Amino acid sequence: MSDSLLSGLNAEQLAAVTLPRQSALILAGAGSGKTRVLTTRIAWLLQTGQTSPQGVLAVTFTNKAAKEMLARLSAMLPLNTRGMWIGTFHGLCNRLLRTHHREAALPEAFQILDSADQLALIKRVLKAMNIDDEKYPPKQLQHFINGNKENGLRAAQVQAYDDFNRKLVELYAAYEQQCQREGVVDFAELLLRSYELLARNEILREHYQARFQYILVDEFQDTNKLQYDWLKLLAGRDNAVFAVGDDDQSIYAFRGARIGNMYDFERDYQVKNLIRLEQNYRSQGNILDAANALISYNQGRLGKNLWTSEGAGEPIRVFQAFSDGDEAGFIVEETRQLVRDGVALSDIAVLYRSNAQSRIIEHMLFSAGLPYKVYGGLRFFERQEIKHALAYLRLMANQEDDGALLRVINFPTRGIGARSIESIQSNARLSGASLWQATCAGGGRSGAALANFVNLIERLRRDTQQMTLAEQIEHMLEHSGLRAFYRNEKDGAERLENLNELTNAAVNYLAEADDRSLTGFLSHASLEAGEHQAQAGQEALQLMTVHAAKGLEFHAVFISGLEEGLFPHENTRQDPNGLEEERRLMYVAITRARRKLYLTLAQNRMLHGQTRFNIASRFLNEIPEQLLYWINTAAPATPKAEPAPAWSKPKATGNGLRIGQSVLHPKFGAGVIIDCEGNGSDARVQVNFGPEGVKWLMLEYAKLSPA
């Protein structure tokens, strides 16, 4: 088994997968097979008996990555992965808080607010406190709250040095109280509440530290301060943290990502095992040489140099257009040629630094009749009709959810006007009750309509108690009036299809989930709402920002707008750290391409209603001239999928030792056996000693002892 599991790994991948039980930092370059290394590491630990499925905690940054990891594990081992703790930070924290909701001071059916729901709650708080939302914009307050939570700070812990910030702190405190009153948590709260729970509850913390002996983290360069602190709590002093990341691909500083976590991790855990995965299985040589040369201009890197066993490939094509219209026209014509050469439209991407750049490209594509898709547009769980349906379900699960009530109390319209809603909010505020309680009290001109709404929600709750999740949703869609409303809408057909798809989403969720309740499904919907996933549909050219392109790859890539002030962005001109982040962004863009890479720029460009005259981006000068082919000026001089291995017991050495066993050597220290061969006096073992490397030892003379 171990031979087949480890076959096909290169030397660095093998060393990473078979490391002994020590913390390690795996510096995984773009296209270097990091997902394979992470997954194989887990399979290796399980297959060799070093831990059980319950002893592994694996953290990813998207639900898509978590699902891919679980699918690969299932293919490698005959293993039921359903109960394993593999998921995103938010997903795992949600699971922890559901399990220990009492200790976390949360109701059992607490709901998760996505970004839009959180903003709506903030607006309600401001209105209730008679705060001028022009002086204190809701989005600014949202950013303030989330930023402090991600730094582990409650309102009482935030230091304010002026009247404006003191007011923000006061509003943060009021927001916290409202969330607690309603029994809701935002995304940042999931992590902060989990961290606080583990920090103050020693028994609980020690339980999980004893359980999760192996902690694996993907995309470590994207972790923020609170995420790193949470990991340190779970790791304690003795657990092994296997951190995989790439400091050259750290591009989310604006979202709180802290590249310094990688350097802190090296110091905090005295990491002796720093393994560089530099062999690239995605791109050809010229593309990698360009990326290496560009990123070398950044200072303080951990350092690596991507290479490939494939050839150099084609030079990188550069097109300097007169205008942004000419630039877009070139992209259209070159795309047409690529399609004629047999490249699928979906395997071609146009990347841009700013969303504003897409308009002219979209216009040209539309005029040329080329289908395109803007990647990262409105996602399923964010669509209006889906938000309405989820609000009804949330209210069925938790009647104290004020945000859900406000969304559907008069949708579809049932004669409850704005004044009646304001009256309900006022009564709730004065009596210290929830909006639901105030609605039940009714009264006024809308008294009958309010009573009908209360009866509707109560009836939905009562009638669906014994139904399956899919049946609950179907019942709600029919009896809430949502389906009837969209049937009567002029353009309601697509929205009806989406409502039908919600039922399908519930069925798919039940097939994969541990928590099969309505509350579990609602949590799943909230956690899925922010995922960057392309929509299924017709073959289409992919348009996206460079940020959205992270983690994707394409046969051919156009990087447009390579001009000073646009890429790198003008906001970073005076900030060395900002310029380095822009360079990392360009590095990510370059490494999305497998075979063909185009760099385009325009001498003048229309942006925000003004024509700008531009000079070429410094990034073009940082790429060696011999790698570039200037199209319109005089020119200056994937691995095959491995078959899933069959399950077998760990191979024994014949000397009481087995593959996967931890051992001690008088000279090389602690290691783990990764292979063995021979018998009797000829028996020898291959041992991974971490910083000392992988070594073959004759058992007769090695003086190995079990660790």
Q: Mind telling me the catalytic residues?
A: 34-35, 218-219, 249, 592
Helices (H), 469-556: 469-479, 482-487, 493-512, 518-528, 546-549
Token pair for 157: 């812990």
Q: Are 325 and 360 in contact (CB under 8 A)?
A: yes
Rounded to whole angstroms, the Cα distance separating 380 from 528 reads 9
Cα 571 to chain centroid, rounded: 26
User: Which H or E run includes 700?
Assistant: helix 699-702
Which amino acid would we find at residue 278?
A: E
Cβ atoms 68, 96 nearer than 8 A: no
- List phi, psi (to 5°) of 495: -65, -35
The residue behind tokens 């299985």 is 281
Token pair for residue 8? 């096909």
The CA distance from 561 to 353, in Å, is 7
- Asked if 241 contacts 266 with a C-beta cutoff of 8 angstroms, the reply is no
Please enumerate in sequence order all residues whose Cβ is within 8 A of that of 674, keeping only pairs 6 or more positions apart, or say none.
2, 6, 14, 18, 659, 660, 686, 687, 688, 694
* Neighbouring-strand partners of residue 580: none
Handedness of CA 142, 147, 149, 155 (dihedral sign): negative
* In contact, 110 and 185? CB cutoff 8 Å: yes
* DSSP string for residues in 26-83: EEE-TTS-HHHHHHHHHHHHHHTTSS-GGGEEEEESSHHHHHHHHHHHHHHSS---TT
H helix or E strand, kind and range, residue 543: strand 541-545
Answer whether 182's CB lies under 8 Å from 175's CB. Answer: no
| 3-state DSSP assignment of residue 634 | coil
Nearest to 456 by CA among 394, 383, 396: 396
